[in-house]
């Protein structure tokens, strides 16, 4: 595998000058992707009124994005290894723009589901394209810093999906706002096609079998096995809380209107942005990736437990609790860096997208299940505070279980 490492270092020198505009364009696309995965919570009441979405339907609509997103990660990984980020990212983004238009015109719940599925397909390669460029053009020990920085900057899309989305929806209507986002997505796709520059392809035959690397080669890396369970719960729970339940919580438990609700949600959004940047250099400062993830996960479990034990806490305290979930739960970038440490260069695209499939696939599973769970609790006569308390307690328990499995993972220390 040594020749592959040598080739990657040469490419880093050759395309270093073009990496910055490439990443800027890809990060803009990722900002839109973050917007799409989190705007539903802010306009959930309006969607319920105009399209007929109850909690179960809302869970399905949100899950459609993540299911479509996760479902194409394996071909995305193969395409990145074979063709690079430019073509792999730009063409699918046209589907995202189409999906946003479909969603904006929806009059029935199933149309909303179809629109979000198209958006999910279109957004699936964006973050992976960014990580592919970073993985091929930077040293592995700086991967967490770069990947977390991209998540942090991209999380501005979460911010746009909070108070700005609520204000735009109130002034122009949520349908017109979504059409504007569709136009921005078309612009982003064009920029990716015109600006992104790829590293040369790096696909080598397996030294022993003489065949090209495949997904099976990734699955044979046993160091990755304990990472998958926590990937299915850690980031997916943060996404579910941010994308589905934080808005309804402030609406149903505290009776906040759209703007006040957006302001309360913004606390979690700012925390997610800060958390992503905070985690970036932490693995190098502390000399560990595993224990960074463990510490952040324990803190997230504590914040979920606080909401479960005192769901009717004051608005300010609840905002801080959601902020802790968002900020301390943003171990996404460190988990990806932990994964990248065990991947040889020819398997970079496939390996990273497989882990991303677990992270996003977990969201696709958790959101409809939690939507059905909330609907059943409501049907049993439980009040809003009880419903949210039970939901967050369930999240905390599931996260704790996967953390126990992750404790058996081999650490990946930066620089080693």
- Residue 169: half-sphere exposure toward Cβ, Cα within 13 Å: 25
Candidates 87, 144, 98; CA nearest to 352 is 144
Residues 346 and 82: their CA atoms lie apart, in Å, by 10
Q: Which long-range CB contacts under 8 A does 299-304 form with residues at least 24 apart?
A: 299/324, 299/328, 300/234, 300/237, 300/238, 300/324, 300/325, 300/328, 300/329, 300/399, 301/396, 301/399, 301/400, 301/403, 303/328, 303/329, 304/237, 304/392, 304/393, 304/395, 304/396, 304/399
What percent of the chain is predicted at pLDDT more than 90?
46
Q: Does the pLDDT value for residue 275 go beyond 80?
A: yes
pLDDT of 223-255, one tens digit each? 999 999 999 999 999 988 987 899 889 999 999
Closest CA to 204 of 346, 5, 10: 346
| Residue 203: band (very low, low, confident or very high) from pLDDT cuts 50, 70, 90 | low
Four-residue CA torsion sign, 129, 135, 136, 137: positive
What pLDDT is attached to residue 8? 36
Q: Residue 3 pLDDT > 50, yes or no?
A: no
Q: Which two tokens stand for residue 154?
A: 């991209």
User: pLDDT at residue 5 above 50?
Assistant: no
Q: In whole numbers, what is the pLDDT of the chain averaged over residues?
A: 86
| 127-140 pLDDT tens trace | 889 888 887 777 76
- pLDDT tens digits, one per residue of 167-191: 899 899 999 999 999 999 999 999 9
Tell which phi-psi region holds residue 415, choosing left (phi > 0), alpha (psi between -120 and 50) or beta: left
The tokens of 2 are what?
Answer: 């040594």
- The helix-helix angle for 290-309 and 258-286 (nearest 10°) equals 150
The H-or-E segment that residue 71 falls in is: helix 55-71
pLDDT at 80 over 60: yes
Under the banding of pLDDT at 50, 70 and 90, the label for residue 16 is very low
Neighbours of 171 (CB within 10 A): 9
Percent of the chain with pLDDT over 70: 91
Q: Report the range out of 25-39, 40-54, 138-152, 197-211 with the highest average pLDDT.
A: 25-39
Residue-level pLDDT at 178: 95
Instruction: Say yes or no to pLDDT of 1 above 50.
Output: no
| 108, two tokens | 């029935």
């Amino acid at each position: 595998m040594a020749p592959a490492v040598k080739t990657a270092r040469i490419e880093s020198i050759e395309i270093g000058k073009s990496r910055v505009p490439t990443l800027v364009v890809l990060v803009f696309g990722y900002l839109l992707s973050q917007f799409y995965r989190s705007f539903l919570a802010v306009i959930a009441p309006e969607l319920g009124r105009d399209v007929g979405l109850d909690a179960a339907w809302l869970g399905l609509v949100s899950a459609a994005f993540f299911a479509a997103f996760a479902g194409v990660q394996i071909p995305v990984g193969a395409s990145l290894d074979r063709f690079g980020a430019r073509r792999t990212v730009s063409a699918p983004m046209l589907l995202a723009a189409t999906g946003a238009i479909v969603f904006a015109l929806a009059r029935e719940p199933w149309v909303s589901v179809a629109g979000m599925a198209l958006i999910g397909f279109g957004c699936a390669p964006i973050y992976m394209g960014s990580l592919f460029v970073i993985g091929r053009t930077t040293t592995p020990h700086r991967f967490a810093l770069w990947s977390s920085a991209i998540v942090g900057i991209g999380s501005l899309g979460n911010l746009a999906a909070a108070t700005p989305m609520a204000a735009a929806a109130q002034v122009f209507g949520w349908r017109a706002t979504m059409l504007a986002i569709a136009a921005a997505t078309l612009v982003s796709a064009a920029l990716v096609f015109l600006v992104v520059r790829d590293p040369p392809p790096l696909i080598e035959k397996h030294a022993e079998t003489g065949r090209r690397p495949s997904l099976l080669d990734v699955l044979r890396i046993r160091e990755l096995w304990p990472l998958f369970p926590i990937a299915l719960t850690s980031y997916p729970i943060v996404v579910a809380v941010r994308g589905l339940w934080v808005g309804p919580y402030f609406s149903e438990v505290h009776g906040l209107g759209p703007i006040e609700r957006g302001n309360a949600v913004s606390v979690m959004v700012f925390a997610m942005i800060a958390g992503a940047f905070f985690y970036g250099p932490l693995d190098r400062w502390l000399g560990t990736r595993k224990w960074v993830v463990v510490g952040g996960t324990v803190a997230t479990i504590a914040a979920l437990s606080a909401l479960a034990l005192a769901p009717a806490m004051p608005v300010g305290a609840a905002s801080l609790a959601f902020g802790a979930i968002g900020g301390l739960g943003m171990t996404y970038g460190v988990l990806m860096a932990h994964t990248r440490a065990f991947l040889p260069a020819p398997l970079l695209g496939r390996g990273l997208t497989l882990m991303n499939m677990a992270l996003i696939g977990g969201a696709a599973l958790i959101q409809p299940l939690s939507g059905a769970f909330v609907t059943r609790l409501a049907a049993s006569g439980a009040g809003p505070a009880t419903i949210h308390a039970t939901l967050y307690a369930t999240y905390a328990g599931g996260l704790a279980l996967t953390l126990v499995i992750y404790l058996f993972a081999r650490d990946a220390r930066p620089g080693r």
